[in-house]
A and B are shown apart, each in its own frame.
Chain A
């Protein structure tokens, strides 16, 4: 086993939506575990650059890759860039997510499709792209960042709930397909995590959380980092809540 417990010296990790929040914290956690990290982001160039800089400061390796991951061509280009720089993607964290909240009765096709494209279809395409290299390497870790909303209704989020529940179905099915090749596929279900995504959530919402507080991105990233580790080799198809008891 090499430094930091990582045996796959020729591989890389790719985290989507990694310029801030859970994605940024996950990029840090994977870099600390010894993985070179592709920091995929859509808009926040400054945020992504800061993530790369702090990983490098800590002695890790990372590159920022810009593009809307909902675009199939961006998926190809992003993998190409990470693979050219660091080698095969052996850890994939599908974290990129958007919200466009409205009651289902007034949800437009654009709001539906836009959320499904980023939160679900993009994760399928990155998974499909990553699996080929993982199958060849007979090792891989895919972690899909779902949401407590997949399990617990929240009016106004039909599109987001459908996408995040879809991620759990994707997770379980792909896990069964590739388990024989040393590849694990798991989902994490964050509850209220203190990120930009919940900045408009009223503080009284946290009363529904047994822990009585929002989680930190680092708390979510710690779970993702474990699922991405060598040690988590017999955990696959699982859905792990990181929600302070919200869905308990």
Chain B
């Protein structure tokens, strides 16, 4: 799998996961502001915990501090996963 395709797969999974925390799935887009989606910092901690289980890599919630959009979360997570897998 290419890195781009892996990142895209992660993005969809992250958006699906974020939709389980409250927002409508169609509202969760790359540009959607976390504030508008009502995703707070504890939700981000929860997402990090989910990501550890989903991708089987350590995910430090601190790495997401400052994220503004759902896309930010997904791209930061893709980078964490790629790094942990030596990619």
Report A's interface with B, CB cutoff 8 A: 131-133, 135-136, 177-178, 180-181
Find out whether the CB atom of A132 lies under 8 angstroms from the CB atom of B42: no
Partner of B61, one of A132, A133, A177, A178: A132
Question: Which residues of A have CB within 8 Å of B48?
Answer: 132
Q: Verify if B49 is at the interface (C-beta below 8 Å from A).
A: yes
Chain A contact residues, majority secondary structure: helix
Find out whether the CB atom of A136 lies under 8 angstroms from the CB atom of B42: no
Q: Verify if B55 is at the interface (C-beta below 8 Å from A).
A: no
Chain B nearest Cβ from A129, distance in angstroms: 11
Contact with A along B30-61 (1 / 0, CB 8 A): 00000000000010011011100000000001
Chain B contact residues, majority secondary structure: helix
> Closest B-chain residue to A135, C-beta based?
B46
Chain B nearest Cβ from A59, distance in angstroms: 31
Question: What would 18 A/B residue contacts be, using CB atoms closer than 8 Å?
Answer: A131-B45, A132-B45, A132-B46, A132-B48, A132-B49, A132-B61, A133-B49, A135-B42, A135-B45, A135-B46, A135-B49, A136-B46, A136-B49, A136-B50, A177-B42, A178-B42, A180-B42, A181-B42
Question: Which residues of A have CB within 8 Å of B49?
Answer: 132-133, 135-136
> Closest A-chain residue to B44, C-beta based?
A135
Chain A nearest Cβ from B43, distance in angstroms: 9
Complex formed: what's the CA distance from A178 to B42 in Å?
A: 8
Question: Which residues of A have CB within 8 Å of B42?
Answer: 135, 177-178, 180-181
Question: Which residues of B have CB within 8 Å of A131?
Answer: 45
> Closest B-chain residue to A178, C-beta based?
B42
Contact with A along B43-87 (1 / 0, CB 8 A): 001101110000000000100000000000000000000000000
Chain B nearest Cβ from A215, distance in angstroms: 36
